[in-house]
Structure 1
Amino acid sequence: MSDPTQPPVNPASNDPAYPAAPSYQAPVGPEAPEYGQAPVYGQPAAYDQPPAYGQNPYGQQSPQDKYNVLSIISLVTSILLISVVGIITGHIALSQIKKTGEKGRGLALWGTILGYVGVLVSTIFVIITIALVIAAASTGAGYYR
């Protein structure tokens, strides 16, 4: 512990336990540009400029340029007559597109609409089939007499 009334101890510069800190010197030579002058790294100046507003460097896609995967799945499953999956994925895709701003709103809408049409058509088909089976069963017994 040190005494708070005593001044701080500065090690002597000639003490070998405490070597003197190196002094800073600005670099001198051809690699040090003057103030206000852009350094030259062997590339044209056009590469040193940042990309224009709205452009992505290195050709990367922005989130608005890609399609929502669920909207594609919704459309494909509705076309393949897996209507319930198309309806569910279509609604989820519409929600995600609203939040993220991705493309594919039309695909999700068509997938959802075709899914509902598929459910409606299959329900009508099942009702007609049941009605025909009942009608055939009730009249079929008298056919053999």
Structure 2
Amino acid sequence: MTTPASYSAPGAPARKTNVISIVALVVSIIGFTVIGIVLGFIGLNQVKKTGEAGRGLALAAIIIGFVELVLLVIYIIFVVAVVGAASVSSNY
């Protein structure tokens, strides 16, 4: 007597990754901070609504965008301070 072949249940289908989250991460890494932040929030909102994968990508895009924005502001303040100090010292 032979035993019937046992079949396992098929695996769950892979969740689709949200495209906006991917684009947001790439745009943030490239350096378009504001666009990356906005797209990151849009992607995060879509992930919550649709249940797609990509929440981490959207969060990473938002974090990278804000870090780049803060660094840009610090750089601008530094440049303005150096230029201001150079113009003051050259008047003497």
Pairwise TM-score range, normalised by the shorter structure: 0.7 to 0.9
**Which residue of 2 is the match for residue 130 of structure 1?**
80
**Which whole-Å CA distance do the structure 2 matches of 1:53 and 1:130 have between them?**
62
Q: Tell me whether 1:108 sits opposite 2:58 in the alignment.
A: yes
SS of 1:102 mapped into structure 2: coil
Runs of 4 or more, structure 1, over 2 Å off, are: 52-55
Q: Normalization by structure 1: what TM-score?
A: 0.54
Kindly provide the CA deviation profile for residues 70-109 of structure 1, in whole angstroms up to 9, marking residues without a partner as x: 1011111111111101100000000000000001111000
Q: Tell me whether 1:83 sits opposite 2:28 in the alignment.
A: no
Q: Percent same amino acid among aligned pairs?
A: 45
Q: Tell me whether 1:139 sits opposite 2:71 in the alignment.
A: no
Question: By percentage of residues, which structure has more helix?
Answer: 2
Kindly provide the CA deviation profile for residues 36-89 of structure 1, in whole angstroms up to 9, marking residues without a partner as x: xxxxxxxxxxxxxxxx7986xxxxxx6x62111110111111111111011000
Q: Normalization by structure 2: what TM-score?
A: 0.83
CA RMSD of aligned residues (A): 1.8
The structure number with the bigger radius of gyration is 1
Kindly provide the CA deviation profile for residues 104-127 of structure 1, in whole angstroms up to 9, marking residues without a partner as x: 111000000000001000000001
Cα displacement (A) at 1:141: 2.2
Letter of the 1:117 partner, please give it. Answer: V
Letter of the 1:104 partner, please give it. Answer: G
- The count of corresponding residues between Structure 1 and Structure 2 is 84
Which structure 2 segments of 5+ residues have no match?
A: 1-8
Which structure 1 segments of 5+ residues have no match?
A: 1-51, 56-61
Greater RCO, 1 or 2 (C-alpha within 8 Å, sep 6+): 2
